[in-house]
Chain A
Amino acid sequence: MSDTLARPLPSAGAGRPSRAPVAVFDWLLALAVVALVAVTARAIWFTPPEAMQGEAQKIFYIHVPAAVMGLYVACPLVAIGGAMYLWLRDDRLDRLAESSAEIALVFLTIVLVTGPMWAKPIWGAWWTWDARLTSTLFLWFILLGYTVLRGAIEDRQQRARYSAVLGILAAMLVPFIHLSVRLFRTMHPQPIVLAPEKPKLSAEMGMTLSLAFLAFALLLVALLRARLKYAALRDRVEALEMGEA
């Protein structure tokens, strides 16, 4: 299978002999997708629905792992990669920050789409301005700004420095958004539609959730690896073009 799918990248100049073939097919990414499909199938057909929330609760198997991986793994990597770049000036660290930001954006998009899908039948509203939701939404906006900023700067070093600064400031901002919205909500009593207690997961549900975490962790690693590879190749092509010009 790898022979049929592995093909060399198109060479930069026409008529030039192509270099060593680079495998486009990514085994790890394929494995992650298979794991994700498997865990989704398990959640839909082989895991019993939760007594109170019914089928809607199954969104949790996607929503929670995506949130945890996006918010607590990918997002911190953006700030850490940026801060380390400013210190060590290693292009690989900038690529780590850049790749993590895109992956975090994807994961947070999943969170922000699946969240309201669950909230509508359970809370009776698509969205509530609760601290956690609000900070996630604004973090998503910042990550979007981060990618737009990167696209708006030509110079590689300048781009790396600017995005590092933004990444670090964003990391500092999240607790503030969380705090201001939480203060804002606790000071004003809110009508409570439903106070969802932490669902007591049965062994089967717990297993599905654990497998979902594994699948999402695998997806994160696979996406990061693929994105880093792409960024390294892109930078090499850029360097070659600069050298040849």
Chain B
Amino acid sequence: MSAGGTPGTLAVALLIARKDLAIEYRTRSAFFASLVFSLLGVSIFFMVWDPSAVRPIDIAPGVLWTIFAFAGMLGLHRAFGLELQTRAMDGLLLAPVSREAIFLGKALANLVYVTAVLAITIPAVVLFYNLEFGSGLLILGAIGLLAAIGLVTVGTLFSSMTVHTRFAELLLPMLALPFFIPVVVPAAQASAKLLVGADLATVMPWIQVLVAFDLMFGVACVLAFPFTIED
């Protein structure tokens, strides 16, 4: 399966990620769709919120990570949807590169994309809800990155599976959302703690759950990916 010799897995992965991001940069379709979705999401949550009953710091973490899960997913279908056009996937599979490299490349491009969405959603939520993260913002960034890694590894794998099915756009959220629970729950809980001024030690159990999820599902998805594109 592995090409051996020729460019290393990571180099190939970076090349594939660059190709995907170049396409995304030129079309900007998925990114803008997700961006508009996340800003609209923040506004809608804001409209249904009763400020006299629930404090902003109680609702904001939930809003942030709910939007993150949904907005991130909007773009995931694109990863392999792109390759369906003019049978580009066949070309990719015929190339003398390992399947693992293809997966890593796709996941990397998705990671950049999801992180970009998050990088705009976090300030939007902070702004709308008038939040004060203080020094916790750095930890929040790290949690965001860990959550994004978890989301894209599982999401990329399911994207490669569902893209060949009849109801791709419906199936992807159906399969992927339950897998986002162990990502969204720790992220939301940790940010809630950070908002009330907790230190790193307090949020450590949540970070550990995220790291464990990323490691286990990262390995599992890389190993499982070749089975999803076998002919």
Residues of A within 8 A of B (CB): 86, 138, 141-142, 144-145, 148-149, 152-153, 158, 161-162, 164-166, 168-169, 172-173, 176-177, 179-181, 183-184, 187
B14-68 interface (Cβ within 8 A of A): none
Contacts of A158 in B (CB 8 A): 164
Contacts of B87 in A (CB 8 A): none
B181-217 interface (Cβ within 8 A of A): 181-182, 185-186, 189, 205-206, 209, 212-213, 216-217
- How near does chain A come to B123, taking the closest CB pair, in angstroms? 26
Extra inter-chain contacts (14) besides given A148-B174, A152-B167, A168-B220, CB under 8 Å: A138-B178, A138-B181, A141-B174, A149-B162, A165-B157, A165-B227, A166-B175, A169-B157, A169-B220, A172-B216, A177-B182, A180-B182, A180-B186, A184-B185
Given A168-B220, A176-B182, A184-B189, answer yes or no on A162-B209 (Cβ-Cβ < 8 Å).
no
- How near does chain B come to A182, taking the closest CB pair, in angstroms? 10
Across the interface, do B213 and A161 meet the contact criterion of CB distance under 8 Å?
no
Q: Is the interface of B mostly helix, strand, loop or mixed?
A: helix
Across the interface, do A161 and B228 meet the contact criterion of CB distance under 8 Å?
yes
Contact with B166, one of A152, A161, A183, A187 (Cβ below 8 angstroms): A152
Across the interface, do A172 and B220 meet the contact criterion of CB distance under 8 Å?
yes
Across the interface, do B165 and A173 meet the contact criterion of CB distance under 8 Å?
no
Q: Residue of B at shortest CB range from A144? A: B174
- How near does chain B come to A186, taking the closest CB pair, in angstroms? 10
Given A183-B206, A187-B189, answer yes or no on A169-B154 (Cβ-Cβ < 8 Å).
yes
Contacts of A138 in B (CB 8 A): 178, 181
* B171 CB–A CB distance under 8 Å: yes
Cα A180 to Cα B166 in complex, Å, equals 33
* B179 CB–A CB distance under 8 Å: yes
* B88 CB–A CB distance under 8 Å: no
Given A138-B178, A165-B157, answer yes or no on A179-B209 (Cβ-Cβ < 8 Å).
yes
Per-residue CB contact flags for chain B residues 118-133 toward chain A (1 = under 8 Å, else 0) read 0000000000000000
Q: Across the A-B interface, give the 3 residue pairs with the lowest CB-CB distance, nearest first.
A: A152-B165, A176-B182, A180-B185
Cα A164 to Cα B157 in complex, Å, equals 13
Cα A177 to Cα B217 in complex, Å, equals 13
Cα A177 to Cα B177 in complex, Å, equals 12
Across the interface, do B175 and A165 meet the contact criterion of CB distance under 8 Å?
no
Contacts of B221 in A (CB 8 A): 169
Cα A181 to Cα B171 in complex, Å, equals 25
Contacts of A168 in B (CB 8 A): 220, 224
Across the interface, do A172 and B217 meet the contact criterion of CB distance under 8 Å?
yes
Cα A141 to Cα B180 in complex, Å, equals 13
- How near does chain A come to B40, taking the closest CB pair, in angstroms? 26
Across the interface, do A145 and B171 meet the contact criterion of CB distance under 8 Å?
yes
Across the interface, do A86 and B227 meet the contact criterion of CB distance under 8 Å?
yes
Contact with A162, one of B166, B177, B185, B228 (Cβ below 8 angstroms): B228
Of the A-B pairs whose beta carbons lie under 8 Å apart in the complex, a sample of 10, sorted by A's number, is A86-B227, A148-B174, A153-B166, A158-B164, A161-B230, A169-B217, A169-B224, A172-B220, A180-B185, A187-B205
